[in-house]
């Protein structure tokens, strides 16, 4: 029996589509043996890998609201009054951390139900850091595997988009969003022993209407363009790339979370014939 791994890309609120795809895969008897995720994709990978069901993840979607964006007003005002513009990030990230910690019972990565890898970047060394639930080989020379870390810290680190979220300090390390290095961690799944890999990519460089751009829309567009070009080199390592079209949804369009979930579900159903063709010998009901 060959092991199937699923890589979940970052993409802000569009990553709710991952939940819809996972739901469709489950309904058609496709067993997932390992997951890897970056940024918002790391959040979905962590919660599903820890043991939350698709229904529980669906119920969790309303938590993807603006309330998660906790502006550090105190630090912002204090620094501005001093003429100091060195604030490392607009949002603290504590609410995101608390949300994930609550859903995972403050568990460690080593307590995952499924093998899971979450990607972040070490701000000091520039290395790719893979927070893994199990011991695994490093997929490339400039990466490092860390297994002893709380799930909530790993997710927060992987989601810490530069300039928006404060970098995450843990021990003597400083981490930022893994999307700057690997936004769809296919290689991590191969290193974990996955023999068939499905990549779900939620980033596109397709043109959007920027007639009246705001700071967030410009950042959203800039990030999307960079990640879309990066991901071309990564998804070539996957057996199948699924790309639900969510071009009209920005990374921070929180009111479209359920729309993205449904979009991912319907897309996966349309592609199920191709998915099964790729994975036909691997459709099993055996437990992990």
pLDDT in tens, 215-272: 555 655 565 565 565 666 666 789 999 999 887 887 778 889 999 999 999 999 999 9
Of 68-72, 168-172, 273-277, which range is least confident?
Answer: 68-72
What's this model's pTM, rounded to 2 decimal places?
A: 0.85
Of the chain, the percentage scoring pLDDT greater than 90 comes to 60
For 283, residues 6+ apart whose C-beta sits below 8 A from its C-beta are 28, 29, 30, 31, 276
Q: Round the average pLDDT of the chain to a whole number and report it.
A: 84
Residue 229 CA to chain centroid, in angstroms? Answer: 17
Please write down the HEC assignment for all residues of 2-26: CCEEEEECCCHHHHHHHHHHHHHHH
pLDDT at 230: 61
State the average pLDDT over residues 14-30.
96
Of 96-105, 114-123, 167-176, 239-248, which range is least confident?
Answer: 239-248
d(CA 256, CA 150): 30
d(CA 93, CA 100): 11
Annotated catalytic residues are: 39, 177
pLDDT at 252: 77
State the average pLDDT over residues 128-142.
91
pLDDT at 209: 47
Query: Exposure of 152 by Cβ count < 10 A (0-12 exposed, 13-18 middle, 19+ buried)?
Result: buried
* Residue 5 binned pLDDT confidence (cut-offs 50, 70, 90): very high
pLDDT at 229: 58
Q: Which residue has the higher pLDDT, 117 or 88?
A: 117
pLDDT at 92: 67
Of 3-17, 49-63, 201-215, which range is least confident?
Answer: 201-215
State the average pLDDT over residues 42-71.
87
Reading the block at residue 134, the tokens are 């199990």
Of 36-40, 90-94, 101-105, 185-189, which range is least confident?
Answer: 90-94
* Residue 203 binned pLDDT confidence (cut-offs 50, 70, 90): confident
Highest mean pLDDT, choosing among 32-41, 239-248, 278-287: 32-41
For residue range 146-179, list pLDDT tens digits in order.
999 999 999 999 999 887 888 999 999 999 999 9
pLDDT at 3: 92
Dump the DSSP string for 173-223.
EEEEEGGGT-SS-HHHHHHTT-SEEEEE----------SS--HHHHHHHHH
State the average pLDDT over residues 76-88.
51
* Residue 286 binned pLDDT confidence (cut-offs 50, 70, 90): very low
């Amino acid at each position: 029996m060959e092991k199937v791994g699923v890589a979940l890309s970052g993409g802000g609120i569009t990553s709710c589509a991952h939940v819809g795809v996972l739901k469709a895969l489950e309904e058609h008897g496709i067993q997932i043996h390992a997951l890897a995720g970056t940024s918002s994709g790391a959040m979905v990978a962590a919660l599903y890998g820890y043991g939350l069901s698709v229904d529980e993840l669906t119920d969790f979607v309303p938590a993807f609201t603006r309330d998660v964006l906790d502006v550090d007003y105190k630090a912002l005002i204090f620094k501005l009054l001093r003429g100091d513009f060195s604030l490392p990030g607009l949002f603290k990230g504590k609410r995101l951390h608390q949300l994930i910690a609550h859903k995972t019972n403050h568990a460690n990565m080593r307590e995952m139900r499924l093998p899971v890898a979450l990607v972040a970047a070490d701000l000091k060394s520039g290395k790719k850091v893979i927070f893994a639930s199990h011991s695994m080989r490093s997929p490339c020379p400039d990466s490092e595997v860390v297994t002893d870390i709380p799930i909530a810290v790993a997710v927060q680190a992987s989601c810490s988009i530069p300039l928006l979220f404060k970098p995450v300090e843990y021990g003597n390390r400083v981490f930022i969003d893994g999307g700057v290095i690997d936004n769809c961690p296919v290689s991590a799944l191969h290193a974990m022993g996955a023999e068939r890999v499905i990549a779900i990519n939620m980033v596109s460089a397709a043109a959007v209407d920027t007639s009246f751009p705001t700071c967030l829309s410009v950042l959203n567009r800039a990030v999307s363009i960079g990640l879309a070009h990066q991901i071309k080199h990564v998804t070539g390592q996957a057996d199948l790339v699924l790309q639900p079209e969510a071009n009209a949804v920005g990374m921070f369009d929180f009111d479209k979370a359920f729309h993205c979930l449904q979009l991912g579900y319907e897309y996966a159903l349309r592609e199920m014939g191709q998915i099964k063709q790729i994975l036909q010998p691997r459709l099993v009901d055996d437990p992990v």
